[in-house]
Amino acid sequence: KQEVTQIPAALSVPEGENLVLNCSFTDSAIYNLQWFRQDPGKGLTSLLLIQSSQREQTSGRLNASLDKSSGRSTLYIAASQPGDSATYLCAVSEAAGNKLTFGGGTRVLVKP
């Protein structure tokens, strides 16, 4: 059974520092990996989708890498801002369809 882990569970950084969020998964037979942002009491907003054949994906200040063989993905957020404070979730899509298995999330606080 696929298991997805995100460490640390919480992270606090000063504004302007780069954020590095980690995601690991146990079964490398994935179709894709998706990073989401969730604000308190809100739904999930998709940030980046990396296909299994890709090594990385970029959008603005966000960059996500994928290493299938080691079962790891990293989300980098450059020059963090207080507005980046949220919970970040990673999820992998199983090879047998589009069912997502989620990690527990990393709660990020960016201090002004």
Does 87 engage in binding with another protein (CB under 8 A)?
A: no
Mask for 46-65, x = binds another protein (CB under 8 A): x--x-xx-------------
Does 108 engage in binding with another protein (CB under 8 A)?
A: no
Does 111 engage in binding with another protein (CB under 8 A)?
A: no
In whole angstroms, what is the distance from residue 38 CA to residue 47 CA? Answer: 10
In whole angstroms, what is the distance from residue 52 CA to residue 93 CA? Answer: 10
DSSP state of 82: G
Does 103 engage in binding with another protein (CB under 8 A)?
A: yes
